[in-house]
Amino acid sequence: MAQTITQKILAKHAGLRSAEPGQLINCKVDLVLGNDITSPPAIKEFERIGVSKVFDKKKIFLVPDHFAPAKDIKSAEQIKMMREFAHKYGIVNFFEIGCMGIEHALLPEMGAIKPGDLIIGADSHTCTYGALGAFSTGVGSTDMAAAMATGEVWFKVPEQLKFVYTGKLQKWVEAKDLILYTIGQIGVDGARYMSMEFTGPVIDKLSIESRLTMANMAIEAGGKNGIFGIDAKTKQYLTKVHVTRYPLLYSDKDAEYKQIYDYDVAEIEPQVAYPHLPSNTHPVSKSGHIKIDQSVIGSCTNGRIEDMRVAAKILKGKKVHPDVRLIILPATQNVELQMIKEGLMEIFIKAGASVSTPTCGPCLGGHMGVLAEGEKAIATTNRNFVGRMGHPKSEVYLSNVAVAAASAVAGRIASPEDL
């Protein structure tokens, strides 16, 4: 029976020949992930289960990245709980300050993700890893606890959607614009509990970093997971991160999809998602004169070295507008080190930006960039819900890196062409 990549991965991990939409299955997991917000509740539930060990010491990843470095006593206690749990059960992959990074950038970078893997994480943006041909999805802390104990989790097999991108990208259009445009077209519930498979000649040309950006935001359309096929670029990336053994999985040509969407990217210009939904998208040319107080470049969506290079290209030789705070967040320590090697750090500091250690901080309104009442921010993050970055009466506009950098210079939402 014809199957998509997602169906094949789920079937394999359930010990079945095939997996059909709507079917309830129990799957073995390859990796369980938690951060400093979601791990503590999972740890408490794990202890209540009463088991004496975790299912696999090497397959659990604990990454303190949301409130790290600890912003207050409560966040310090959360991270301490993770640290002590890792020590107690011999969990290998606990990432201390100084070697950590934003979880969804760190794991692919360190070679922890392989095509064909089944990955769950107590964070909604765990869907990021579909960029490498894995099935990955977010779960609750209780599911994380059960998986740490048993190595298993149950799913309802999602229906399948296919997104085909053709044409030639306009200047300054990035992967972030493709996914924002897509969410704008189908809505924040347009893929609710469905698999979003991204294909087409435009996708074939995207870097793995760009694919990670698109897969990351599948959840913003309600998707159960986002996924890409394995190609030469996937193999090249995996070789770079020392992943050598993995299955070559592809969707069958006659696999069934609930719906297929075709987009000509020549019609897509840089997008800006207005408050308070990622689907409230508008072309940057239609943004008018929206003044901003803050620009944030980074997060698990756009904090990789590819993103930093784009930002530096815009900011080199320019100054951040005196009324704007520009905060730049490299997603991992390796990205930060590469920024130093390439001279990007100097460009950012001379431009007047604040460059942070890797953290999710401002993305969720946690720290290091919280907005006050009435303030507006443009950000390369993934959500702009009410109060997402601070005060309930603040506003967040989502964009690609080039637009966020150009806006920081212009003092308003702007395209690089406006500078």
Q: Which one, of 226, 184, 178, lies nearest residue 206 by Cα?
A: 178
Picking from 218, 221, 208, the residue whose alpha carbon sits closest to that of residue 108 is: 208
Specify the pairing of strand 281-283 against strand 271-273. Answer: antiparallel
Q: Read off the tokens for 242.
A: 């020392």
* Cα distance between residue 308 and residue 301, in whole Å: 12
Q: Interior CA angle at 386 toward 382 and 389, to 5°?
A: 55
Spatial separation of the C-alpha atoms in residues 158 and 6, rounded to whole Å = 9
d(C-alpha 101, C-alpha 112), whole Å: 14
**Whole-angstrom distance, CA of residue 147 vs CA of residue 150:** 5
The verdict on whether residue 27 carries a ligand-binding annotation is no
Helix (H) or strand (E) holding 327: strand 325-329
- Residue 6, sorted as left (phi over 0), alpha (psi -120 to 50) or beta, turns out to be alpha
Structural contact between residues 272 and 287, judged by C-beta atoms closer than 8 angstroms:
yes
Question: Which among 247, 212, 222, 179 is positioned nearest to 5, based on CA atoms?
Answer: 247
**Residue 343 is encoded by which pair of tokens?**
């001279």
9 token code pair: 């991965």
Residue 363 annotated in ligand binding: yes
Q: Show the tokens assigned to 157.
A: 């097999």
- The set of residues, in sequence order, having a beta carbon less than 8 Å from that of 143 and lying 6+ positions away, is 120, 122, 153
Extract the tokens encoding 255: 């696999």
Report the C-alpha gap between 389 and 381 in whole angstroms.
Answer: 10
b/e code 105-132 from CB counts within 10 Å (16+ = b): bbbbbbebbbbbbbbbbbbbbbbbbbbb
Angle at 380 between CA 181 and CA 112, to 5 degrees: 95
What pairs with residue 195 in β-bridges? Answer: 160, 225
Which residues are annotated binding-site positions for [4Fe-4S] cluster? 300, 360, 363
